């Protein structure tokens, strides 16, 4: 009997390119998903047939990288363009990977320049929309949208609050019929991309420890640089609500503190403090000692458990481990070859 699929997965955003995908249990399948129970990492397996016959090896884009995850097993991936299409400029070449059908389809003429802001969101009737938020300057911001129904790109002008000049989109999340663009240092932008005139809301994040560091109180650049790092902050959904987890400050010889806030009400932008735990309390527990890991600050926050906000995953050396923060106990620990949390995506929340 086949083992049951895990209720959620950690997806590695670099698929494995292999003809083994064609051996998936369906006729003509070119895409499959190799599942693993967290904290192990799941990975897409893609047959080489989905790529152009003559990929441009000089193009400054990855061989294949997941840019966004969508509804019902859809993934938006960027790949190297064909040499025949090359004019000396590295252009995006986007594929929609459909795991249920095992197929890949080319997204025509992608009009996107801020690839880090891409999202795939479910549309009524079973379709989808690909959306990119493009901010050329403070007075020229728009959504670039591709509909699976019309197979065309359209531009929609949006009006956003005055943003920091250092605003950088670090995460994109689809939730509650909206797209949420996250800047870990500053806040979240959110809107309904299906509206004729999308109204962009802004939700500031909780004040971080970097704001209170001597000399940084009035320096948005300093605090923004510190808080935008994955080593310091993680913003994502857990149990249907946005959570902001922060590690800091990290000083030699001192244990960092882990703080979690929950967005209680997006309409009022109110965040509530859930807990604050010092890492020396975790190191002191027998569950941490049993892992054999050194008593040193985590190299990064890997992710928040999508169904239980009490559990946070961290990385130390080559290990990813989950901690039940209120109990100060390690509940899972696995060796991981993934070096950067930006290359991971939680699915199934």
- The string of pLDDT tens digits covering residues 33-53 is 999 999 999 999 999 888 777
| Kind of pairing between the strands at 201-204 and 187-191 | antiparallel
Helices (H), the chain: 220-227, 279-283, 286-289
Rounded-to-integer distance, Cα 195 and Cα 339, Å: 39
| Segment 99-131, tens digit of pLDDT | 988 999 989 877 775 566 899 999 988 889 999
Kind and range of the H or E element at 134?
strand 128-137
Read off the pLDDT band of 301 (50, 70, 90).
confident
pTM of structure = 0.87
Q: What is the mean pLDDT of residues 197-222?
A: 69
Alpha-carbon distances of 175 from 50, 92, 134, 296, rounded to whole Å: 30, 26, 20, 35
pLDDT band at 334 (very low <50, low <70, confident <90, very high): very high
Per-residue pLDDT, 317:
82
Poorest-pLDDT segment among 29-33, 45-49, 89-93, 198-202: 89-93
Q: Do 204 and 190 form a contact (C-beta atoms < 8 A)? A: no
Say whether pLDDT at 347 is over 60. Answer: yes
Q: Which residues of 86-109 are buried (b: 16+ CB within 10 A; e: fewer)?
A: beeeebbbbbbbbbeebbbeebee
Tokens at residue 10, please?
Answer: 């950690």
The answer to whether 324 and 310 have CB atoms below 8 angstroms apart is yes
| Cβ atoms 309, 317 nearer than 8 A | no
- The mean of the pLDDT values for the chain is 83
Tell me what pLDDT residue 340 has: 64
CA 18 from chain centre, in angstroms, equals 25
3 state SS of 53? coil
Is it the case that residue 71 has pLDDT exceeding 50? yes
324 — pLDDT class (breaks 50, 70, 90): very high
Q: How is the beta sheet containing 140-147 ordered, strand by strand?
A: 118-122, 128-137, 140-147, 153-157
- Per the model's pLDDT, the better-predicted residue between 67 and 207 turns out to be 67
Residue 75 is predicted with a pLDDT of 94
Distance, CA of 334 to CA of 123 (rounded, Å)? 37
């Amino acid at each position: 009997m086949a083992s049951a699929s895990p209720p959620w997965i950690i997806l590695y955003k670099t698929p494995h390119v292999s003809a083994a995908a064609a051996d998936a249990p369906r006729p003509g399948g070119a895409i499959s998903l190799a599942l693993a129970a967290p904290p192990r990492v799941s990975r897409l397996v893609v047959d080489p047939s989905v790529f152009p016959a003559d990929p441009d090896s000089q193009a400054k884009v990855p061989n294949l990288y997941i840019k966004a995850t969508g509804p019902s097993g859809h993934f938006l991936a960027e790949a190297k363009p064909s040499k025949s299409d090359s004019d000396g400029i590295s252009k995006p070449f986007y594929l929609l990977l459909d795991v249920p059908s095992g197929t890949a389809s080319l997204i025509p003429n992608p009009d996107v320049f801020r690839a880090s802001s891409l999202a795939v969101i479910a549309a009524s009737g079973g379709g989808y929309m690909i959306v990119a938020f493009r901010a050329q300057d403070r007075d020229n911001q728009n959504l670039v949208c591709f509909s699976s129904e019309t197979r065309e790109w359209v531009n929609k002008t949006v009006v956003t609050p005055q943003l920091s000049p250092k605003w950088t989109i670090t995460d994109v999340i689809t939730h509650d019929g909206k797209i949420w663009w996250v800047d870990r240092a500053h806040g979240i932008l959110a809107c309904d991309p299906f509206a004729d005139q999308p109204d962009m809301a802004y939700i500031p994040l909780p004040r971080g420890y970097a704001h209170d560091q001597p000399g940084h109180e009035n320096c948005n650049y300093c605090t923004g640089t510190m808080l935008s790092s994955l080593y310091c902050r993680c913003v994502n959904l857990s149990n249907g609500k946005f959570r902001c987890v922060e590690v800091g400050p990290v000083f030699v010889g001192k244990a960092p503190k882990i703080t979690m806030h929950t967005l209680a009400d997006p309409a009022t932008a109110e965040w509530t403090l859930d807990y604050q735990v010092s890492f020396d309390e975790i190191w002191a527990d027998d569950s941490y000692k049993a892992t054999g890991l050194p008593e040193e600050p985590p190299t990064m926050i890997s992710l928040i458990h999508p169904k239980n906000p009490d559990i946070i995953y961290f990385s130390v050396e080559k290990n990813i481990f989950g901690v039940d923060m209120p109990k100060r106990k390690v509940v899972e620990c696995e060796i991981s070859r993934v070096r950067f949390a930006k290359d991971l995506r939680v699915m199934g929340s």
